[in-house]
Structure 1
Amino acid sequence: MHATLPLLEVSDFPQLQRKATEILQVNLGYKCNLRCLHCHVNAGPTRTEMMDRENIDLIIPVMQKRGIKTLDLTGGAPEMHDDFRYLVAQASAAGIKVIDRCNLTILFEPGQEGLAEFLAEHQVDVVASLPCYSLDNVDKQRGDGVFDKSIAALQKLNELGYGQPGSELKLDLVFNPQGPVLPPAQQPLEAQYKAELDSHFGIQFNQLYALANLPIKRFGSTLISKGQFHDYMTLLKDNYQAANLEHVMCRSLISVDWQGNLFDCDFNQQLELNLAGKDAPHLRDLLSEDMAGEPICVADHCFACTAGQGSSCGGAL
């Protein structure tokens, strides 16, 4: 069964339009050293889809042409792409801020030696997934041994200056609920994370992002198999907050898949919902066309971003 089919029906989610693009979020490919239960891209060690050099070399010129200042790299594990360091170095030289969506354990994978030092050298912002501060919960969601490696990686990043008071090296953590529930309030949860990680492991970080799970791909399939899909969608719709519409990430972000195709967000990318009103737009189209003012393609999964405190790549809205 295709987990996303229920989301493609006619939706009553409000229509939205793009603002100026501030962030280019690029999915470098679906290969990952982990296979997390909440992963909305079905990433894993056996995936082979990876962006080619031709598209890699379009990224910086497009950003310079459109005046986009932030490059948000995701995957899979974006660091597993052979051109990851090549692209980051290019962006750094061009004065572009880079965000690395990091699963932390990648720092200890063969071939990734010196990765943490490389990120620090180029002042890359690290946004790291840590769905809980306890071993049992993390390993249940992400796999055996992931928690211990994640803690070691955070300590290594701290040693390099990441997350430390007064440092320009930014380290943010990401929380996802383990099941079909909304995340708790971000600010008190952040305080709890900071207290627990500091007291037990001496770990410091900047911010915690509390994100709702999107009912698509692997997580959506799990909901369907457990008969929870309808109830979760009802929960999202019942907690809809119109005030969040002004700040949803799709209004100022463009998502790029591993083939260079453009989408309103990473979730639309996984559902193959093109930019509204566009026929398979590509990264190269941004060299000649500004997408500001264009309509955004919406469907029922969008309610996950507007439920409760709201949810975006930068945490609660």
Structure 2
Amino acid sequence: MKNFGEYVGRFGDVVLKDNVRCLQMNMGYVCNLSCRHCHVEAGPDRQEMMSLRVVNDCLRFIENSDINVVDITGGAPEMNPNLQALIRGLRRLKPAASILLRSNLTILNEPKYARLPAFLKENNVDIISSMPCYLEENVEFQRGKGVYSQNIKVLQKLNRLGYGGAGPKLHLVYNPGGSFLPAPQNELDFAYKESLGERFGIMFNNLYTITNAPIGRFRADLEQQGQLEGYMNLLADNFNPANLAKVMCRNLLNVDWQGRVYDCDFNQVLQLPIAAGDSYIGSITAQGLAGMPVRLGNHCFTCTAGAGSSCQGSLDNKAG
């Protein structure tokens, strides 16, 4: 199998932590769905959930840093009872910070969470919604039967609240439905807006294309189909050295439900914490991470292949 470290070395480059501007918080692996491409293998049977103690340690870390983006993910982060306390704490500490909530949308269709969208709007929280395709068949192949219609209802509700228009931002996320790279982000953005707008009157700000990482359920699926080696070769053959300057791990820090810190959420799944003696969020500072080497592995081909991939979409339009 091709080695990512060797590819990086060919270009005389190293991947080091820069000034950390984004903290990505995984609130836990519990989720109402069990999507086949989920790299954290979230689902209804998972029990892991971030405690209020860890939330407060994350807030203290943010207060003493230059972080201006907090990216809240899961599982379904809405299912963590400490979510609203986190958002209120963030708004007190950093009123102008960008707060992102990653949602599978269907959770917001459940009565227990019916009032959450209004709370998110009041606190100016942008929503990044997983929508692996604008066609029903492809969405339900990845996410399960009935998910597509629920997604449409929630998107329409968010539009009525002002999301995707005059209110906070609403972004959608596309993941490939198999062992191939995403199509160009601008082309898919146009296709999504045309289809969802004409058929359902749905508006959103941007579409993000994210390449599937060969870990978690997606890796297991590739292995079962005998496609893992072919997919790894596809990623390596499309390695783009220009992406090394843009990869998200340079400016992002990821923290799991227990407060352990990683260079990205893929490293979290692989249990590769940052290269520090103590990787707990309450024991480190953002300033102390600058210049630290990012922990790399062959899964890093995911972010450097083709147009590049990050949690906020293609790297094509990002400055180096």
> TM bucket by the smaller chain?
over 0.9
Following the alignment from structure 1 to structure 2, what is the Cα–Cα distance between the partners of residues 27 and 266?
8
SS in 2 for 1:126: strand
Partner of 1:263: 262
Partner of 1:316: 314
Partner of 2:280: 282
- Match for 1:89: what amino acid? R
Following the alignment from structure 2 to structure 1, what is the Cα–Cα distance between the partners of residues 251 and 287?
15
The within-5 A match list for 1:202-217 is 202-217=201-216
Residue 205 of structure 1 and its aligned partner are, at CA, apart by 0.4
Structure 1 gaps of 5+ residues are 1-5
Partner of 2:142: 141
Residue 10 of structure 1 and its aligned partner are, at CA, apart by 7.9
Partner of 1:36: 35
Partner of 1:298: 296
In 2 relative to 1, CA 124–233 (structure 1 residues): closer, same or farther, beyond 3 Å?
same
Residue 115 of structure 1 and its aligned partner are, at CA, apart by 1.0
Partner of 2:11: none
The within-5 A match list for 1:215-234 is 215-234=214-233
In 2 relative to 1, CA 123–288 (structure 1 residues): closer, same or farther, beyond 3 Å?
closer
- The normalised TM-score by structure 2 is 0.93
Partner of 1:197: 196
Counting aligned pairs with the same residue, the percent is: 45
Structure 2 gaps of 5+ residues are 9-13, 316-320
| Root-mean-square deviation (Å) | 1.5
User: Which is further off, 21-30 or 54-63?
Assistant: 54-63
The within-5 A match list for 1:49-68 is 49-68=48-67
- Match for 1:150: what amino acid? N
Residue 110 of structure 1 and its aligned partner are, at CA, apart by 3.8
Residue 112 of structure 1 and its aligned partner are, at CA, apart by 0.9
- Per-residue CA deviations over 1:201-243 (Å, capped at 9, x if unaligned) read 0000000001100000110011111110000000000000000
- Match for 2:61: what amino acid? V
Matched, 1:100 2:101: yes
- Per-residue CA deviations over 1:239-281 (Å, capped at 9, x if unaligned) read 00000111110000000011000100000000001113x2351
- Match for 1:290: what amino acid? G
- Match for 1:34: what amino acid? L
Kindly indicate whether the alpha-carbon contact (under 8 Å) linking 1:262 and 1:280 is maintained by their aligned counterparts in 2.
no
Kindly indicate whether the alpha-carbon contact (under 8 Å) linking 1:12 and 1:300 is maintained by their aligned counterparts in 2.
no
SS in 2 for 1:138: helix
Partner of 1:115: 116
User: Which is further off, 60-69 or 128-137?
Assistant: 60-69
Partner of 1:3: none
- Match for 2:271: what amino acid? E
Kindly indicate whether the alpha-carbon contact (under 8 Å) linking 1:239 and 1:308 is maintained by their aligned counterparts in 2.
yes
Following the alignment from structure 2 to structure 1, what is the Cα–Cα distance between the partners of residues 269 and 277?
17
Following the alignment from structure 2 to structure 1, what is the Cα–Cα distance between the partners of residues 143 and 226?
22
- Per-residue CA deviations over 1:161-220 (Å, capped at 9, x if unaligned) read 1111xx241000000001000000000110011000000000000000011000001100
Partner of 2:72: 73
Kindly indicate whether the alpha-carbon contact (under 8 Å) linking 1:13 and 1:302 is maintained by their aligned counterparts in 2.
no
SS in 1 for 2:132: coil
Kindly indicate whether the alpha-carbon contact (under 8 Å) linking 2:105 and 2:155 is maintained by their aligned counterparts in 1.
yes
In 2 relative to 1, CA 288–238 (structure 1 residues): closer, same or farther, beyond 3 Å?
closer
- Match for 2:199: what amino acid? H
Following the alignment from structure 1 to structure 2, what is the Cα–Cα distance between the partners of residues 108 and 46?
20
